[in-house]
Structure 1
Amino acid sequence: MPANASNTLTRRDFLRNPGARPAPEFRPPWSDEAAVRRHCTGCGDCVRACPQEILELDDNRHVRVALHGRDCTFCAACATACDEDVFDVDQSPPWPVVAEITGRCLLAAGIACQLCTDICEPRALRLDASVRPMGRLRLDTTACTGCGACLGLCPNDAITLTDPRMKGPPE
């Protein structure tokens, strides 16, 4: 260990559990798995066009969303740049992806935190102060766009994105 290295954890490192869950990966808005598999040529035009830099090509050279702490603004630059039938911009909403709050939320541990409610533009995440001692997050799934802004801000990785299209059939 170098002389200037410290073995103490920062507050953020303490709260995070690296490797606890993989980063969510989805197909871009206005597309789905079938359209990407059928029409994506792997040219990367959509990846280069994305101003948020949240698109990348997977091992099969198909476009996917990899947020890496950033969010989707639904600007449609990816769809505009694509010459193939991967995107359907008439699809509304752009995708069915929504946030989901896990039991790792700091509020559940009695620690005050509202970072996600501050960043949520559609105000889909709200604090319910009637739950004691610190309150509880409430998610309005009808207002949530699945943009991912809350993911990168959560100090405890307590928010995930889910896509109902990716869930398997009922058991």
Structure 2
Amino acid sequence: MSIQARSPSFRKALTGRSADFRPPWSSETSIKSDCTSCSRCIDACPEAILKPGPGNTPVVDFNAGVCTFCKACAQACPEPVFSDTSEPPWALVAQISDGCMLSMGIGCQLCTDICDRSALRLDLRVRPVGRIAINHEACTGCGACLPLCPTDAITLGEHIEEARHEG
């Protein structure tokens, strides 16, 4: 059996959940309180990555493509669902789990090849085959790397700054 990128339905079957992300510049709270399920944001998305989710409210489907942060969804929405688009779209960045093929000693760098911002790079200092290093400052959370990972080791999550201890 070959390893292939899994569809969200397969992921949901394995884990009992799917990874639903709300559109950039929105939140679960703003969707629940202000979204009327009119689908204007979904229709406006040039990348066609916004899909109807719970209650026909918008969710991002990264298996359909990458978010270019074009702001079309926010501009199309007549309700106060979206925040100021001059601010960062969200605090999501790529995160890599121990399920990465590199941690199993198998060479892979599909995620680094697709990352336009070079936020993911192969660090060959870790033996035997390296590891993926994430530049959290460069990562926009666009989702380009998510559907390519053959082991679903990449997720998006909020970047938490680690406290620096001075000694």
Same-fold call, TM cutoff 0.5: yes
Q: 2:126 aligns with which of 118, 124, 131?
A: 131
Q: 1:95 aligns with which of 90, 96, 99?
A: 90
Cα RMSD between the aligned structures?
Answer: 2.2
* TM-score, normalization by structure 2: 0.83
| 1:21-100 aligned within 5 A | 21=15, 22-100=17-95
Q: Aligned partners of 1:122 and 1:58: how far apart in 2?
A: 29
- Check conservation: 2:6, 2:152, Cα contact below 8 A: yes
SS for the counterpart of 2:156 is strand
Q: Aligned partners of 1:29 and 1:91: how far apart in 2?
A: 12
Same amino acid, percent of matched pairs? 49
Counting matched residue pairs gives 155
Identify unmatched segments of 5+ residues in structure 2.
Answer: 160-167
CA-CA distance at 1:91 after TM superposition = 4.8
| Deviation digits for residues 41-80 of structure 1 (CA, Å, limit 9, x no counterpart) | 1000110111121112223232222222521111111111
CA-CA distance at 1:123 after TM superposition = 1.1
* TM-score, normalization by structure 1: 0.81
Q: 1:113 to 1:28 in 2, by over 3 A?
A: same
SS for the counterpart of 1:117 is helix
Identify unmatched segments of 5+ residues in structure 1.
Answer: 1-8, 165-171
Which one is further off, 77-86 or 19-28?
Answer: 19-28
Structure with higher Rg: it is 1
Q: 1:162 aligns with which of 141, 154, 157?
A: 157
